[in-house]
Amino acid sequence: MELSYNQFIDSISITLGDLTELKFLYLYSNQLSGLIPSELGNLKNLTHLELSHNQLTGSISITLGDLTELKFLYLHSNQLSGPIPSELGNLKNLTDLELSNNQLSGSIPITLGDLTELKFLYLYSNQLSGPIPSELGNLKNLTGLDLSDNQLSGSILITLGDLPELKFLYLDSNQLSGPIPSELGNLKNLTHLELSHNQLTGSISITLGDLTELKFLYLHSNQLSGPIPSELGNLKNLTDLALYSNQLIGSIPITLGDLTELKILYIYSNQLSGPIPSELGNLKNLTHMELSHNQLIGSISITLGDLTELKFLYLYSNQLSGPIPSELGNLKNLTHMELSQ
């Protein structure tokens, strides 16, 4: 039954629970309100349930755990509240579970680790708290895990390194603490790693340099310390590197000049020292470079004039000296440049 993209209002009729042969129920992108009827748990043959982008309220009915043939469960972008029912762990055939953009609270049930067919688990933008369950390491088929924008605490579990198919890992905007596990270096298929806006400490693991498929690496707005690993220069597919607002020290590795696909380089607001490497002039695709609020010394490298795609160049609040290179006049696409302080 496909009734999505309409302007249906009021609640979902409990009589839909009488359609016991139904396999597909699509009611998304309407203006439906009220509760999810417990009677939907009678639809034992249902494989696809899509109720997202409505105004549904109340808790997720535990009877949805009776839909053992279900493969896709989309309840995102509503106003659902209360805990995630542990009964959802009964849905052994589930491949996609999306509960994001609601007001769900409580901890992530450990029973979600029983969903071994799951490929996508999206719980972002809720009010979930507590630790990330180690049982999620059982989800060997998972390609996308997004737990961002919640209130999760504790450390990043080393068991997440056991998810060999993972391509997207978003844990940003939580209250996670402790180090970045070196085991994340096992995720050879990872293209997006987003751990920003937490309370992570310790150094950046050199094993992240093993993630050679990585395109986006966001570690900013934490309490990371120590040097930037030269091994990050192995990430030849990287387009976005954001390490700003940490406590990183040491010099900028010359190996960052090997990241020839890089478009965004943000390492401002750290305690980096030493000169700006001339090798950064190899980053011909770079559009945004911000190295401000560090303790960089020496002159501005003339090789920065080779970055002809550059739109934003922020080097202010350092200890740079010497002349402003005339070669910066080659940056014809530049719209913002700050060399103050």
pLDDT value at position 14?
87
When pLDDT is averaged across residues 19-48 and rounded to a whole number, the result is 90
CA distance 242 to 172: 13
pLDDT for the residue 8: 45
The predicted structure's pLDDT at residue 18: 86
Give the chain's mean pLDDT: 95
Q: For residues 55-68, give the mean pLDDT.
A: 95
pLDDT bin (cut points 50, 70, 90) of residue 2 is very low
Average pLDDT over residues 315-328: 96
At residue 38, the pLDDT reads: 93
What does the pLDDT read at residue 11? 76
Nearest residue to 202 (alpha-carbon basis) of 231, 180, 233: 180
What mean pLDDT do residues 178-200 have? 97
Count of positions (residues) in the chain: 341
Give pLDDT, residue 32: 86
pLDDT band at residue 10, thresholds of 50, 70 and 90?
low
Give the pLDDT band (50/70/90) at residue 172. Answer: very high
Please determine, for residue 245, whether its predicted confidence score (pLDDT) is greater than 50.
yes
Asked if residues 98 and 77 have their Cβ atoms less than 8 Å apart, the reply is no
How many CB atoms are located within 10 Å of the residue 3 CB? Answer: 13
Residue 312: the pLDDT is 98
Residue 15 — pLDDT band, cuts 50, 70, 90? confident
pLDDT tens for each residue of 285-316: 999 999 999 999 999 999 999 999 999 999 99
Query: Which pLDDT band holds residue 13 (cuts at 50, 70, 90)?
Result: confident
Helix (H, G, I), strand (E, B) or coil at 265: strand
24 versus 2: the higher-pLDDT residue is 24
Three-state secondary structure call for residue 48? strand
Which pLDDT value is given to residue 326?
Answer: 95
pLDDT at 17: 79
In which band, very low, low, confident or very high, does the pLDDT at 133 lie, cut at 50, 70 and 90?
very high
Say how many C-beta atoms besides its own lie within 10 A of residue 4's C-beta.
17
Give me the domains of the chain, ranges plus CATH numbers.
1-106 (3.80.10.10)
pLDDT at 16 (0 to 100): 85
Residue 118's pLDDT band, with cuts at 50, 70 and 90, is: very high
Q: Please report, as a single letter, which amino acid is at residue 292.
A: S
Please tell me the pTM assigned to this model.
Answer: 0.94
In degrees rounded to 5, what are phi and psi of residue 249? -125, 180
Predicted confidence band at 5 (pLDDT cuts at 50, 70, 90)? Answer: very low
Report strand pairing: 192-194 vs 216-218. parallel
- Do 100 and 122 touch, CB atoms closer than 8 A? yes
Walk across the sheet containing 319-320 and list its strands. Answer: 225-226, 247-250, 271-274, 295-298, 319-320
Residue 6 has pLDDT above 60, yes or no: no
Please, what's the b/e burial string for 63-83 (b: 16 or more CB within 10 A of its CB; e: otherwise)? bbbbbeebbbbbbbbbebbee
Percent of the chain with pLDDT over 70: 97
Both tokens assigned to 106: 């409580």
- Per-residue pLDDT for 28 more than 90? no
